[in-house]
Structure formats: structure tokens, C-alpha cells
Structure 1
Amino acid sequence: MERGLVGHTLAVYFSRRFLGAILGLFALAAILIFLFDVLELLRRSSGQDGATLARIGLISLLRVPQLMEQVLPFAVLFGAITAFLALSRKLELVVARAAGVSVWQFTAPALLVGIGLGVAAVTLYNPLAVFLRTQSDEIASGLFSSEQNFLLQTTGEIWLRQDGTDGESVLHAKQTLDGGTRLLGITLFTFDRSASFSERVEAREARLEDKRWRMSDATVYSTTGDPSTHATYYVSTYLTPTEVRESIAAPESIGFWDLPRVIELSQRAGLPAYRYSLQYQTLLARPALLAAMILIAACVSLRVSRMGGVGRLILGGILAGFVLYVLSELGKDLGGAGIVPPVVAAWAPGVFGVLMGFTILLHLEDG
């Protein structure tokens, strides 16, 4: 009974150390990214109307959470390495191992922390980050003109060819919001049924309604008359919200809980849903990826305690984590193109990392 209580206390202590190190590095990275992002936004927006420090700071603050999703695996890796090394430097791991605590017992709390963070990152953090990013795009709309989409990493300028009851048209937009159902900076070229150019429409904003685009503050240039301005102008389209979203909306702009519905709608519409399926499976596999990072850190710490050469072994752990991350990005590219099934592309890096980590630990611990 007493031994079990000691083991529980030790596990809680290790868990707190790992959680503190990981969250500390995550917060430090968030602060650094926020500061650099604000400086870059201020540089790009100099001379623009409405580019106040408060507005720029709010834009950056709201978009940092989604940027940090890419940093999370490295925060877990570096945080776990930091915690393991701190425990080794204070001889706490040495004392624990001398008391009969195996590598599996002091690695288990770190694994539970990593998996728990992965679950929380997927179910809670990701939807919140997507929501905040949407608010950031709303606040930033029209602020950076032609540079905005590249700077804010949105979908970029898009072109759509569509058909409607009035004939075909080609639509160009400088920015997309609300999953592609709201467009800003519109230029539309319409053609009649004989494929002859009919008119050019320039509008501040367009919203997709039932079988039509509703354009605001539109100027119409026709081949048969003088330009005319309209507070509201309508152009018919056969495009559905699902088709527009599949064409231009980034999978990262959709939260975890909304992805299954988007995938189902895309499949019902007969559209490929590789990118959305891949994003969904990537989020589901995130706890496995974080567990792999923890195991890599554990392999480094065990080798340090036995062999020395801290710098060289830490560098090896960092390189292993980086390779694992590159493999996950390569899997995304292959899965997003439909070359590899999304499930395989998303889960393979994490599963491979976990198996590799367990294999190395078994070799180091048991020979």
C-alpha cells in the first residue's frame, strides 16, 4: 500500500514537471511569435488607413493560437527534453532508478501528459483557434490590400468559373471569409449564352445566397451603356456553398467538430474530400504524434544518463523530432493529393515514431 502511494506521488510529481516545462516553452514561443508578427504587420501596414497599433495587436493576438498549432509538437519535444534533463541534472532520475523505478514508470507520466495535451489540443484548442482566426480575418479585412492574403496566410486571391441562369461568368476575389461564402474585392466578368462578353462588375463584397451572389457597392461596366453603380447587385450561379468551400476554403479554416459534416457534404455532392479527410485524421492522430515526441525525448534522456555527451545526444533527439515532423508534412502532401489514403498519411508518422521510441527504449533498458 505504501509503495503504491509512493509510486502515485512520484507519477504526479513527474507529470507536473513535464506539464510545466511543455506549457512554459509553448507560452514562450507564443510570445515570441506574437512580437515578431506584430512587427511584421506594422511594417506591412505602414501608411494604410486604420492601421493603428491596437488594431494590429488585436489581429496578431487572435491569429497566434492557430499559428501555435504547428509549434505544439516541438514544444512537447523540447519541453520533455528539458524536463528529463532537469530531473537527470538534479539526480532525481538516478535516485528513482536506484529505488527500482524503471524507465517505463518515469516515462508513463510524460506519455499521459503528452496524450492529454493532444486530446485537449484537438477537441478544445483547435476549434477555439479557428474561431479566433476567423475573427482576426474579419478585423483585418481591407487593411492590407493586395498583400493581405499572403501576409495573413489565408486562401489567397482566387478565381472561380461558374454558370447560372444568365450565362457563364468568371469571378475574381482578393480575400475569402466564412469558408468561401463571403468574398471581398470582387471583379466579375459575365458572358451571355453565345459566350460573348457582356459586362464587368466590380464590387466591395459578395455573399453567396440561394443560387445567386449578392454584391454590395457594385459598379457595372457594360458594352451597351455607361457605367452604373448599385448598392446591391445580383448575379446568378449554380454553385453551392459546399462546392465553393471545396474549391477555395483551406481545411485549416474549419474546426475539428465541423470537419465530419463538411466531409459528408462534400461526398454527397460528389466532390473529392481528400483535404478535409486528411485534416480530420491529422487532428485525430495528434495525440500519437505528441506521444512519439515524448518517447524521443525519453530515449535522449536515458542515453544521457548512461553515456554522457549531452549536447550531441540532445541534437540527435531534435533531429529525430524534426525528421518525424517532416514525414508528417510529406504525408499531408501525399494525402491531400489523394495519392495515399488520408488515414495512412495522417497516422503513419505518429505510429512510426511511437514504435521507434518503444523499440529504442526496450533496447536501452533491457538490452
Structure 2
Amino acid sequence: MITLRSMRRALLPSKTLTVYVIKMYIGRFLGILIGLCTVLQMLDLLAQADDIMAAEGADFSSIVSYLMMRYPQLMTQFIPFVGLLATLLTLATLNQNSEIIVMKATGLSSHKILLPLGVASGIIALAHFAFHDTIVTKANADLEYWKENDFAINLPPAPDVRGAVWLTEGTTLVRVNKVTKAGSRVILDNVSLIERDDLGRMTRMQQADFAHHQDGKWTLFGLRNFNINTHETTEVEQQNWTIPTPPERFLALTVRPKHVPYRQLSNSIDQLEREGLPTDTLKASLMQKIAAPAAILLMPLLGALAAFGVHRSGNLFMRLFSGMAMGFSFFVADNFMLSMGEFGVVPPFIAAWSPFILYLLIGYAVLFNTEEGSSPRVRPAKSQPV
């Protein structure tokens, strides 16, 4: 307890000042977040209301259901941006009321003044990660399922449906149009099998209406065999499919990072790595699940221009604008690198964390340059004539 208290006193200002700054920051953060998301939700609802109410039997409850799915998406999307605005307003208010000058006069460094904002941002980052991992991922899947069914009411629970997948097993090329998990059973729709020789030439083609995995084996239904040599087609109602591919591999290949929580996405990556398949795209999305909430930790540094140096230059508006411009440029760089990672152009770690590390260094450089300044130049003494 004594050690923790000593660390708190060494890193943070007094308890009263820390609580005062955190309350000011959290109050502005919540106010801006709720206000901004409410306005954006109203605009989004105006664009979607006609489609929602066009469904048969739709009523006001359909609007409420849409709001419950869409509002969390807006919140998690704008939390880092709102953190930047809350930081700028908090520091600008403290500076305008000369509270920053008083803090500096008592011997507090710029780092101690900003650290309470960093503590509050850390709490928000943890809450953001938990909120996104438990609520937003489910809302993403439910809203997309609802849109695909034209906002129909009384829909059954959404099945675990995945998109198309290609894979190679030995000399056989397999294409599945859709992967569905119903309970413990995995169903593959519209299965195409292309068998090739050692030179890669097609020797036989098979198509099945669907296949399902049960009791440790695959079964094809509605199978049609096309003979390359005779150009004849034969049909089989049901046939065992001797392929060593487990159902988990099909599910892992079709996972949607925005629709699954962190642990499930990590398990899918492990499954693919055990089979020697590329996972860079999924790894970039996995790291982004941590890097996105962590972005708010940068906002006190990027917004520090609003706090320090204003009492010397007297131009508060320009410093607010500069802090906001730095924040916007970070969001642009972050989205750009995420896109590069999803396309496999850059390694996953660089795609997810390079903007964070770069702007962390930029923020500290600006803070030191603004607050510490350069040491005064010593002029040589003039020689006195004898």
C-alpha cells in the first residue's frame, strides 16, 4: 500500500487535482459522445426509415430495434475522435482560466498535468474494448442479417452463416458457396470439386447441392459427376466424401473479423496456422481490435498544444486547430494502414501499430518543443576597449 501510494505521488499530482481534471474530462467526453452519436443516429435513421418501415408488419418497434443495433456502432466508431475533442476542450478551459499557469507555478511538469487525462483515457480504452468485444460485434452481425432480409420482422435467430471459400486438399480444388453452422453440424452449400493430375490438368469435376459433417465424416448430397474424357454426367443421391479437412477449417477460412469477438478470431487464426495457411489479413484485424481502443491514449498528447505555450503566444484558436489537425491526420493514417494490412500489403503489426507509435513520438516531440523549448543562446561578452 505504501509503495502504491508513493508511486501515485511520484507520477500524479495531488488527489484533489487528479480527481478534478478526470471529472472535467469524463464529463466533456460523455456529453460530446452522446450528443454527436445522437445527431448522427438521427441523420442515419432519416436515410434508413423508409426501408425499415417498408417491411410487412413493421411498426415503431422496428425503429427501436434498428436504433439498438446501430447506436453502438456509432459509439465505438467515434470514441477516439470524441476523446480528442474532450481533451482539447478540457485543456483549453484549464489554460483559459490560467489554471495551467498555477499548476506550473507549483512545480508540476507538463507530464504530471497530462497524466490524469492519460489515466482517464486508459479507463475509457478498457471499457471501449469490452464494449466492442461483447456488444458491437453482435450488433454488426445482427444488423447485417436483418438488412439481408429487407428488415423483415419476426425473423428466426440468425444462423452462423459464412461466405464463399476456396481451398486445396491434395490435388483437389474445393469451392464452397456458403458455410453454415447449425448447432454441432456444419453444412456446406453448393460444393464444387475439381480433381487435377500432377501437371495441374483437370481430370474430373463434381458438384453437390450440399454437404454436411456428422459423426466425424463428410457426406455429399445431390452429387453430379462430370467425366472429362467421355463428357458424360452421372448423378448420385448420396455419397461419402473422404476429405481430411475438418469443419473448423471451413469456419476459420470464412470468419468475419467485425462479427466475432477477440477470442473467437484468435482461435480461427490458430486453426489456420496449424494447417499452414496464410493469416496475415486476419492478424491485422485481430491487432486492430486492440489498437483501435488504444488510440484514445494518444489524445492527451495530441491535444497538449491546447494547454501549453498559449499563455506565451496568446493564440488559443490556432493551437486548438493544430491539435485537431494532428488528431485527424492520425485517424487518416490509421485507416490507411488498416486497409493496407487487410489487403496483405504490409505486415500485420505495422498495419495496426505503426500509426500509434509514429504519433506517440510526434506527440512527445511537439510537447517537448512547445513546453520545454530550446535553451537560450548564450551571447559572448563584448570586449571592453582598453
Same fold? TM cut 0.5: yes
Deviation at residue 77 of structure 1 after TM alignment: 0.6
Tell me which structure has the larger Cα radius of gyration.
Answer: 2
Match of 2:322 in 1: 316
Write the letter of the residue equivalent to 1:28: G
1:327 paired to 2:333: yes
Match of 2:34 in 1: 27
Unmatched segments (≥5 aa) in structure 1: 146-155, 221-232
> TM-score normalised to the size of structure 2?
0.70
Structure 1 residues 263 and 157 mapped into 2: Cα distance closer, same or farther (>3 Å)?
closer
Match of 1:294 in 2: 300
Deviation at residue 87 of structure 1 after TM alignment: 1.9
**Deviation sequence 1:53-87 (CA, Å, 0-9, x none):** 31233133223323432212101111111111222
Write the letter of the residue equivalent to 2:371: E
Equivalent-residue separation in structure 2 for 1:22 and 1:308 (angstroms): 26
Aligned length: 334
SS at match of 2:271: helix
1:262 paired to 2:264: no
Residue of 73, 86, 91 corresponding to 2:93: 86
Equivalent-residue separation in structure 1 for 2:240 and 2:93 (angstroms): 64
Residue of 42, 53, 56 corresponding to 1:49: 56
Equivalent-residue separation in structure 2 for 1:327 and 1:245 (angstroms): 32
Deviation at residue 331 of structure 1 after TM alignment: 1.8
Deviation at residue 310 of structure 1 after TM alignment: 2.9
Higher helix share: 1
Unmatched segments (≥5 aa) in structure 2: 153-160, 196-202, 224-237, 374-386
Equivalent-residue separation in structure 2 for 1:337 and 1:316 (angstroms): 32
Write the letter of the residue equivalent to 1:111: G
Deviation at residue 314 of structure 1 after TM alignment: 1.9
Structure 1 residues 296 and 198 mapped into 2: Cα distance closer, same or farther (>3 Å)?
closer
> TM-score normalised to the size of structure 1?
0.73
Residue of 242, 246, 257 corresponding to 1:251: 257
Deviation at residue 332 of structure 1 after TM alignment: 1.3
**Deviation sequence 1:91-117 (CA, Å, 0-9, x none):** 322332333333222101011111221
Deviation at residue 140 of structure 1 after TM alignment: 5.0
**Deviation sequence 1:195-218 (CA, Å, 0-9, x none):** 67878x6x9xx9887766999xxx
Equivalent-residue separation in structure 2 for 1:91 and 1:355 (angstroms): 28
Structure 1 residues 96 and 237 mapped into 2: Cα distance closer, same or farther (>3 Å)?
farther
Structure 1 residues 60 and 246 mapped into 2: Cα distance closer, same or farther (>3 Å)?
farther
Deviation at residue 311 of structure 1 after TM alignment: 2.8
Alignment of 1:165-180 (within 5 A): 172=177
Residue of 299, 304, 310 corresponding to 2:310: 304
Match of 1:347 in 2: 353
Equivalent-residue separation in structure 2 for 1:237 and 1:36 (angstroms): 53
Match of 2:67 in 1: 60
SS at match of 2:33: helix
Structure 1 stretch 111-120 or stretch 94-103: which is displaced more?
94-103
Structure 1 residues 141 and 26 mapped into 2: Cα distance closer, same or farther (>3 Å)?
same
Match of 1:365 in 2: 371
Structure 1 residues 258 and 139 mapped into 2: Cα distance closer, same or farther (>3 Å)?
same
Structure 1 residues 321 and 235 mapped into 2: Cα distance closer, same or farther (>3 Å)?
farther
